[in-house]
């Protein structure tokens, strides 16, 4: 590390020493005081007193500042920010962070060529101001070119070794400068790599760098983000001098990304963004050249470019050049080339030049009123400027959009010049220089979509910058669509709109769009076109709707000159009682149809229509030169709607107008009659007049009521009247009077005053009696509805009294008598009566669940001249209201479970009526799988309580070591009570084998398998987690030959456990009441009634349910069903069990006094200490057979009881079973 340097005050630098060495050493920075004194002593030249004073000041100020220079002398980097490689950039950043004040990091790496630093991990954040100066490396030089970049950069930061959190320089100190570096390949898969990130503190300068390219500036070397400005202000990216220019290109995402509150007053100037160093070749940024966006509070007052020489950026070759998004306001975009190369004459396209989706008002000012502020926004693939639907307050002024930098040659954007989807934006302005040149674009010049309140004024649209040369846009000069309304085109500052490929101004739809004070000429389509392409003729009263409400244009009847003024006279036929502004224009020629554009604006006149919608006018205008034509528009001052241009009137002529009359004709009963319209020319004219005509439907229909006709009329000079004859078709059908129209269009040498004639066809047929029919073809009623009301209608006439017969008819699915009552009768209508009539069908409410049923209905025998309608038959549907029966079934037809899964949950569902209790038995049966070796027998009864729709069974699966292949068993539902069996009452369960080694050890040897099997065999459930682990821990920690914790002890503990005693032994003892031991299958069925994860309340209820069911068994009823006496009942049960309970008398007394039920008395005996003790050893032995061997005891079980009774050593018993060959063979060889 270099010695600390403390900079002197600026005034000290003016001192003069005779020793150049001394001056160079100490007038730039202060060194060590001792060194200074020694240097003074060594100097051979005399020193002035003033010089000594300066040195004294140096010594005096020593230690105040702490600035230092740290040298980078190697490209090596160990990636350790705590103990970095000496001489590395990482070391210099660490030292600069530790040293307060503005430090400098310079470079003196040995060797020639580019020196690449490839950090394996990110550098530490820069937390103290620093200047990182790549131009200190020997052989580097800054750019000197105004157009292009010839900088030689030799320090490259390459991030390709960093996989996460990749950034080159992260600066949060503020007041720092980065210059003369190549920064590339900071890219990670997640897209978060950054070349430079500035955050927290601002006032940083990034200048003279190549970011996102290689060291030549010619080849892409992408970062994800080149520069990220995050919530800090006052930063400068680039500058106005050639040396300050950055090449910021080739990124994989955003090139300059500015976001978060506080990112204000930043300046981006003089950079090449998206091109190589020549400025003529695209090195595209994959997303946006510059992105500004964030959340409230806003990013405000940022500058892109500027009006100073060299301030403009070249922003080309990107996906989008500039994107302003979110909470952005007050952005200035000036003096930039956007979409061109550095010459401004060749396209280097962005997608859109500028895209704006910001949501705050006053988003941006693009351009200005001086040439220095002008942006060239041309050559882009999409729109030059695209303003989104949420954006407002954008001002676009003084730019060239679609031309090259000279304004004289086309350099079109591929879409619209300006696309406005937002509201209250301004394109152009009223100030000198505010208008844009928007020309030569491949779509519209200005396209307003959706937005309202936008102003387009003072622009040249379709002109080159000499205001003469044609550079028309390919489509409309200005296009308004998608309901855009209340926009102003012209107004305080008219636009010049010419030479465009379609219309000058096209309003596709939307209303209230004012078009005023413009010069509109030489466009291929109409000057102003509303709605469908072509002239929209006036309609009488102007009641039509559509684009700008299809505002009628004025009709000019004469144009005359007197002295220094021209007078235009005529009338406007439009909305009654409304004020209009009429604007007048002169043109060298009308269009091909005789209608005007608006080449030269002459002035305006305000008029108000009368109660009939007519306003006559006489406008005094400036003198119009001889040979020119005058046209006009009308703008509704209430709605803002502007019309198309009127028919053009030559100077000195009075144009006649055409009108067509309205007529009536009687229809007739047959053949055709002639309906003759008269078309009148308002005055004799010296030129031939032609007009086209065509019929159109009103309430009458072409060909059935009249014959369609089209054609043209010609009025020769002197003629004022012509006729049009249309044939009307006669019939005998009574109907209302009907109308059709004849429309005039496309006049030549005349205007149209009334374009539509109406013919009323008068009906001459007698009124009909009417048509009678059902009101609908389908009726319905709930089975419990009582009576279905059927409605019959009389339509299409009411003349005379009429009647109709009705009846229910055979053929439906409902049965007369049991489902409904046979019905028939007559309905009557008086003369003139058209009210609905009804009859009823009585419905029978049965208790049978059945499909909905139908009753056929028929109308017949109409009287009084009435006709049967098409709906003369109908169907009445009786909707069944009886509940579906309860149905229980398995959820699936088959199941599978891996042997290693240990259990499978199987759902049983109930549908239909679930309001009552339902029961169903379930049982498994062996297939190739055996309940002894492969799974635990399922046997029992499911109880669905009212409202319950699902139950689940747990099939326990045993782990063995047999390589046996997949095996199957069958699960069957049977004996439903309170329900029926569904289609799926039987399911096959496949146990999938998980063994592959025939020599594998017996599965029961495994401690985990052994413990789980005790749960399966004795408690009939899967282990709980705590118990499962606890028993494994006991076995795994048990010393050899320790009988207190071996397998015998653990296994016997399951029989001796409270859970088994209160469940399994509880079940066993009830069989003592019938004087025998239970069979294996009996016990398994009963045991499953009280097994599982039950809380105390659930367990008690399960026991009560078991006792209740046990007492209903025939065996119990045969022994005790006929014993009514309490004492006899208690004694009989005690005798069967072979005991006399100590509390025998208490049980008898409580039973006699109804304090106990018979079931509670039975339980009191069975749960007595006498029964518990008597059968304990017997049950212990029997459970060895049930649990370990999964079968009934053989004859040897009596010997085992004797051994247990004599020795009272359960270990002998358990050892004999768990170490038996029969037990081992359940699980393997």
- pLDDT for 856-902, tens place per residue? 999 999 999 899 999 999 999 999 887 778 899 999 999 999 999 99
- Unique residue bearing structure tokens 């996989």: 163
Residue among 246, 403, 277 at smallest CA distance from 340: 403
- 1011, 1053 Cβ separation under 8 angstroms: no
| Res 688: pLDDT | 79
Residue among 694, 682, 683, 685 at smallest CA distance from 753: 682
Pairing between strand 194-199 and 167-171? parallel
> Domain ranges in the chain?
10-65, 66-274, 541-654, 658-762, 771-879, 887-1000, 1047-1224
Interatomic CA distance for residues 706 and 674, integer angstroms: 10
Residue among 1201, 1161, 1202, 1159 at smallest CA distance from 1181: 1201
- Unique residue bearing structure tokens 């459970």: 1183
CA angle 664, 693, 584 (to 5 degrees): 110
The CATH architecture annotation of domain 658-762 reads Sandwich (2.60)
List the chain residues with pLDDT less than 70.
1-66, 188-192, 296-297, 653, 684-687, 717-718
Residue 883 DSSP class = P
Residue among 372, 425, 417, 423 at smallest CA distance from 398: 372
Phi, then psi, of 1201 in degrees rounded to 5:
-65, -45
Interatomic CA distance for residues 923 and 975, integer angstroms: 11
Among positive and negative, which fits the CA dihedral 81, 82, 84, 88?
positive
- 986, 970 Cβ separation under 8 angstroms: yes
**Three-state secondary-structure class, residue 854:** strand
The CB density around residue 808, as the number of other CB atoms within 10 Å, is 20
Residue among 272, 240, 274, 237 at smallest CA distance from 254: 274
- 946, 917 Cβ separation under 8 angstroms: yes
Q: Which residues, 6+ apart, have CB-to-CB distance to 652 below 8 Å?
A: 559, 560, 561, 626
**Cα of 591 vs its chain's centroid, Å:** 49
Largest CA distance in the chain: 149
Interatomic CA distance for residues 30 and 66, integer angstroms: 10
544-572 in b/e burial notation, b at 16+ Cβ within 10 A? eebbbbbbbbbbbbebeeeeeebebbbbb
- Unique residue bearing structure tokens 């059902």: 774
pTM across the whole model: 0.57
Which two three-digit tokens encode residue 130? 């620093």
Euclidean distance between the first and the last CA atom of the chain, given in angstroms as a whole number? 78
Find out if CATH 2.10.10.90 is the number for domain 541-654. Answer: no
Interatomic CA distance for residues 350 and 517, integer angstroms: 35
3-state secondary structure 35-86: HHHHHHHHCCCCCCHHHHHHHHHHHHHCCCCCCEEEEECCCCCCCCCCCCCC
Phi, then psi, of 469 in degrees rounded to 5:
-65, 135
> E strands along 339-477, which residues?
352-358, 364-367, 376-377, 385-387, 395-397, 400-401, 418-420, 426-428, 437-438, 446-449, 455-457, 460-461
- Unique residue bearing structure tokens 């996460």: 164
- 802, 866 Cβ separation under 8 angstroms: yes
Which two three-digit tokens encode residue 674? 């002639």
Interatomic CA distance for residues 377 and 383, integer angstroms: 9
What pairs with residue 562 in β-bridges?
Answer: 565
Which two three-digit tokens encode residue 984? 């799926």
- Unique residue bearing structure tokens 């400025």: 279
Interatomic CA distance for residues 905 and 704, integer angstroms: 74
Q: One fold for both 658-762 and 771-879?
A: yes
**Tally of helices (H runs) and strands (E runs) in the chain:** 20, 78
Give the number of C-alpha atoms closer than 13 A to the C-alpha of residue 593, restricted to the C-beta side.
21
Cis peptide before 297 (omega within 30 of 0): yes
Interatomic CA distance for residues 76 and 662, integer angstroms: 98
- 482, 504 Cβ separation under 8 angstroms: no
Among positive and negative, which fits the CA dihedral 1088, 1091, 1095, 1099?
positive
**Three-state secondary-structure class, residue 10:** helix
For the domain made up of 887-1000, give the CATH fold: Immunoglobulin-like (2.60.40)
Instruction: Look up the CATH number of domain 771-879.
Output: 2.60.40.2030
Helix (H) or strand (E) holding 1002: none
Which two three-digit tokens encode residue 221? 């070397």
- pLDDT for 240-253, tens place per residue? 999 999 999 998 88
Where does 238-292 have alpha helices with state H? Answer: none
Interatomic CA distance for residues 729 and 740, integer angstroms: 12
- 441, 416 Cβ separation under 8 angstroms: yes
Q: Which residues, 6+ apart, have CB-to-CB distance to 532 below 8 Å?
A: none
The CB density around residue 311, as the number of other CB atoms within 10 Å, is 22
């Amino acid at each position: 590390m270099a010695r600390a340097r403390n900079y002197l005050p600026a005034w000290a630098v003016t001192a003069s020493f005779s020793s150049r060495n001394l001056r160079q050493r100490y007038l730039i920075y202060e060194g060590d005081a001792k060194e200074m004194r020694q240097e003074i002593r060594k100097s051979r030249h005399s020193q002035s007193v003033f010089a000594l004073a300066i040195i004294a000041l140096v010594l005096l100020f020593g230690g105040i500042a702490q600035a230092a220079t740290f040298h980078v002398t190697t490209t090596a980097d160990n990636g350790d920010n705590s103990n970095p490689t000496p001489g590395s950039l990482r070391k210099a950043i660490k030292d600069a962070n530790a040293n307060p004040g503005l430090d400098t990091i310079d470079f003196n790496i040995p060797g020639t060529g580019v020196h690449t630093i490839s950090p394996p991990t990110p550098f530490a954040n820069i937390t103290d101001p620093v200047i990182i100066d790549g131009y200190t490396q020997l052989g580097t030089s800054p750019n000197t070119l105004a157009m292009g970049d010839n900088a030689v950069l030799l320090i490259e930061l390459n991030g390709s070794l960093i996989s996460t959190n990749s950034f080159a320089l992260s600066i949060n100190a503020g007041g720092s400068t980065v210059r003369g570096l190549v920064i590339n390949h900071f890219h990670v898969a997640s897209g978060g790599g950054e070349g430079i990130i500035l955050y927290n503190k601002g006032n940083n300068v990034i200048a003279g760098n190549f970011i996102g390219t290689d060291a030549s500036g010619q080849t892409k070397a992408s970062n994800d983000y080149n520069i990220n400005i995050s919530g800090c202000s006052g930063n400068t990216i680039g500058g106005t001098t050639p040396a300050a220019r950055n090449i910021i290109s080739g990124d994989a995402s955003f090139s300059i990304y500015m976001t978060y509150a506080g990112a204000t007053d930043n300046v981006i100037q003089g950079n090449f963004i998206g091109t190589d160093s020549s400025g003529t070749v695209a090195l595209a940024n994959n997303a946006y050249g510059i992105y500004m966006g964030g959340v409230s509070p806003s990013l405000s007052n940022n500058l892109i470019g500027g009006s100073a020489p060299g301030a403009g950026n070249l922003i080309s070759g990107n996906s989008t050049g500039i994107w302003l998004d979110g909470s952005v306001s007050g952005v200035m975009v000036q003096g930039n080339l956007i979409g061109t190369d550095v010459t401004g004459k060749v396209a280097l396209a962005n997608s859109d030049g500028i895209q704006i989706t910001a949501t705050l008002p006053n988003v941006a000012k693009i351009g200005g009123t001086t040439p220095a502020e002008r942006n060239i926004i041309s050559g882009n693939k999409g729109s030059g400027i695209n303003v989104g639907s949420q954006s407002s307050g954008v001002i676009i002024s003084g730019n060239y959009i679609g031309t090259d930098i000279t304004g004289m040659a086309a350099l079109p954007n591929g879409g619209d010049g300006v696309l406005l989807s937002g509201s209250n934006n301004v394109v152009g302005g009223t100030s000198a220089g505010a208008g844009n040149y928007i020309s030569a674009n491949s779509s519209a010049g200005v396209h307003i979509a959706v937005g309202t309140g936008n102003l387009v004024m003072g622009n040249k649209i379709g002109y080159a910058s000499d205001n003469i040369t044609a550079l028309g846009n390919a489509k409309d000069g200005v296009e308004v669509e998608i309901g855009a309304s209340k926009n102003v085109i012209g107004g305080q500052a008219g636009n010049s709109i010419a030479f465009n490929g379609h219309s000058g101004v096209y309003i596709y739809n939307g209303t209230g769009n004012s078009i005023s004070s413009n010069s509109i000429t030489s466009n291929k389509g109409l000057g102003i076109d509303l709605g469908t392409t072509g002239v929209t003729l006036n309609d009488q009263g102007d009641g039509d709707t559509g684009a700008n409400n299809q505002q009628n244009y004025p009709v000019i009847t004469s144009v005359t000159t007197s002295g220094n003024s021209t007078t235009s006279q005529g009338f406007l036929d439009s909305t009654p009682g409304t004020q209009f502004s009429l604007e007048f224009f002169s043109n060298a020629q009308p269009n091909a149809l005789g209608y005007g554009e608006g080449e030269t604006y002459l002035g305006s006149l305000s008029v108000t229509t009368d109660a009939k919608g007519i306003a006559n006018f006489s406008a005094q205008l400036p003198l119009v030169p001889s040979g020119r034509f005058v046209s006009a528009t009308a703008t509704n001052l209430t709605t803002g709607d502007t019309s198309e241009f009127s028919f053009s009137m030559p100077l000195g002529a009075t144009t006649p107008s055409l009108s067509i009359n309205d007529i009536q004709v009687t229809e007739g009963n047959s053949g055709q009659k002639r309906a003759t319209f008269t078309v009148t020319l308002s005055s004799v004219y010296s030129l031939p007049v032609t007009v086209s005509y065509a019929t159109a439907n009103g309430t009458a229909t072409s060909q059935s009521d009249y014959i369609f006709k089209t054609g043209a009329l010609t009025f020769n000079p002197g003629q004022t009247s012509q006729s049009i004859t249309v044939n009307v078709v006669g019939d005998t059908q009574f109907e209302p009077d009907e109308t059709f129209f004849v429309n005039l269009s496309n006049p030549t040498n005349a205007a149209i005053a009334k374009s539509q004639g109406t013919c009323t066809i008068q009906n001459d047929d007698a009124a009909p009696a009417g048509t009678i029919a059902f009101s609908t073809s389908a009726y319905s009623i709930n089975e419990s509805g009582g009576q279905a009301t059927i409605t019959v209608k009389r339509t299409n006439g009411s003349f005379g009294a009429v009647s109709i017969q009705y009846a229910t008819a055979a053929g439906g699915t409902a049965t007369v008598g049991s489902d409904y009552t046979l019905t028939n009768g007559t309905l009557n209508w008086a003369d003139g009566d058209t009210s609905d009539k009804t009859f009823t069908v009585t419905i029978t409410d049965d208790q049978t669940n059945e499909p909905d049923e139908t009753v056929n209905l028929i109308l017949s025998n109409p009287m009084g001249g009435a006709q049967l309608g098409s709906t003369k038959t109908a169907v009445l549907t009786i909707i069944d209201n009886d509940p579906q029966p309860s149905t229980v079934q398995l959820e699936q037809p088959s199941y599978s479970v891996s042997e290693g899964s240990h259990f499978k949950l199987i759902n049983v569902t109930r549908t239909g009526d679930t309001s009552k209790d339902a029961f169903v038995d379930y049982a498994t049966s062996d297939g190739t799988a055996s309940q002894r070796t492969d799974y635990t027998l399922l046997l029992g009864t499911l109880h669905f309580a009212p409202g319950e729709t699902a139950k689940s069974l747990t099939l326990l699966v045993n782990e063995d070591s047999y390589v046996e292949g997949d095996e199957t068993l069958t699960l069957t539902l049977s004996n439903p009570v309170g329900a029926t069996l569904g289609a799926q009452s039987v399911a096959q369960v496949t146990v999938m084998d998980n063994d592959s080694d025939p020599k594998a050890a017996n599965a029961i040897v495994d401690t985990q398998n052994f413990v789980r099997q005790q749960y399966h065999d004795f408690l009939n459930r899967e282990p709980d987690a705590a118990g499962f682990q606890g028993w494994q821990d006991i076995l795994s920690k048990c010393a050899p030959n320790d009988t207190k914790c071996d397998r015998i002890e653990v296994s016997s503990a399951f029989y001796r456990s409270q859970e088994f005693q209160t469940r399994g032994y509880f079940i066993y003892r009830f069989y003592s009441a019938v004087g025998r031991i239970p069979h294996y299958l009996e016990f398994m069925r009963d045991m499953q009634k009280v097994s599982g994860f039950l809380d105390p309340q659930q367990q008690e209820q399960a026991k009560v349910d078991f006792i209740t069911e046990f007492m209903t068994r025939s065996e119990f009823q045969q022994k005790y069903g006929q014993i009514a006496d309490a004492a006899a009942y208690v004694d009989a049960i005690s005798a069967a069990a072979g005991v006399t309970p100590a509390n025998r008398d208490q049980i008898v007394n409580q039973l006699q006094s109804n304090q106990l039920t018979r079931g509670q008395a039975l339980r009191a005996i069975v749960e007595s200490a006498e029964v518990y003790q008597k059968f304990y050893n017997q049950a212990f032995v029997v459970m060895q057979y049930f649990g370990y061997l999964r079968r009934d005891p053989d004859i040897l079980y009596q010997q085992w009881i004797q051994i247990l009774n004599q020795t009272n050593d359960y270990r002998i018993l358990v050892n004999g079973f768990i170490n038996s060959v029969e037990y081992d063979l359940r699980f393997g060889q």
